[in-house]
Structure 1
Amino acid sequence: MKPFTKLDAKAAPLPLANIDTDQIIPKQFLKTVEREGLSRGLFYDFRFDEQGREKPDFVLNQPAYKDAGVLIAGDNFGCGSSREHAPWALLDFGVSCVISTSFADIFYNNCFQNGLLPVVLKAAEVDALMAEARGGNHMVTVDLEAQTVTSPSGEVYRFEIDAARKHKMLNGLDAIGETLQRATDIDVYESRRALDQPWLERA
């Protein structure tokens, strides 16, 4: 997993509440376990019409936001069914951080397991960022170490994050990576078990 330290990126405003995981990545794109290529299905029904043509009024189809790395969303982002494909699709599209007033629990947890930073800010702060993102300057800075979001105009908003999750994100550790940090201890344990309980090795 790629470490998340500090991100300078365009912010795209998506002022919709209760965006569920099926809207983030519709079910027809869940036939793969590969993480690459899912960007084509991200917000598919928002981005494309029935003929597969881009809808020009959707924010991520607009030239000013096509390379956005931060998404500023409405309340309760990522609700609905559990699917890791949702953060995978966002990351594959180039979005590394989503800012909202709240996230659905399962989606929130999945973000940390896959290197996508979910940032919770107060409603007034999200509204202010949303308003600025609609203006001419879309660049924001998300600093995980400092736990701050800096708006295009220089306003600084602080966010809270669990210390253990912050450590994993800064060091690019998913569940496997965290386990492999104890690889030496695991090897020692397995060697001792082979000597003390050799019959288990024959199982």
Structure 2
Amino acid sequence: MSTQEERLQSGKTYYHAFKLYIQNENRVDDDATFTIGEKGVVIKPVKNERNIVTWENADGPVASMTFLADSDADYYCPRLSTRWNDADYLDYFHDVDAYLFDFVDNPRVPAATRPTLSLYNPFVDEDGDLTVRESRIHVYEVDGDGELVDKTHLFNFGENDDGDRVLSIRTFTLGTYIVSDGKADLPERKPSGRPADVEKPTIEVNNNRKPVPNTGR
């Protein structure tokens, strides 16, 4: 073993393999605010307390969530994206205005009771007035198969404590939602189950014997 200090001579190159670990920023907070699209941050809510998470852009809040954290609250990733990355969904909204709320990775919220997720109504002008009738607004959710499902009937149209118009739903799992000012042009779903015009087999009963299905023979 050499006892002399090893030095890199001028003009020579030294290569060495090593591992680099990058950790997400961890926060413990009961009133967290995030910029839309912000990455690399995970939140640990304050246990047994009312927690609020707000997502905003340059124009102000876009969505918020309120929940009572459970007694063993763990970290979760509350990232929200509003960018249209999948052109397939755009094809369903040719003649209407639509806004995407994509909670990336669909994190389950560590809450003791079902959290309230509020999407700020995108069809509101600077004075807080609706630009379209509420009856025209629809909310769609992307299901596990990637299909759009109309969930308008599950959302409550109203105002939050600050008087902002929001669309609210109670859910443990944040999903991907699209809010539009009209119905999406969705493909018709194929009917499931036995066709209505198929005759059911008849059953005969003879002399107290067991029913014998008609096999057509």
Given the two structures, how large is their TM-score scaled by the length of structure 2? 0.26
Greater per-residue strand proportion: 2
Greater per-residue helix proportion: 1
Q: Whose RCO is larger (CA < 8 A, sep 6+)?
A: 1
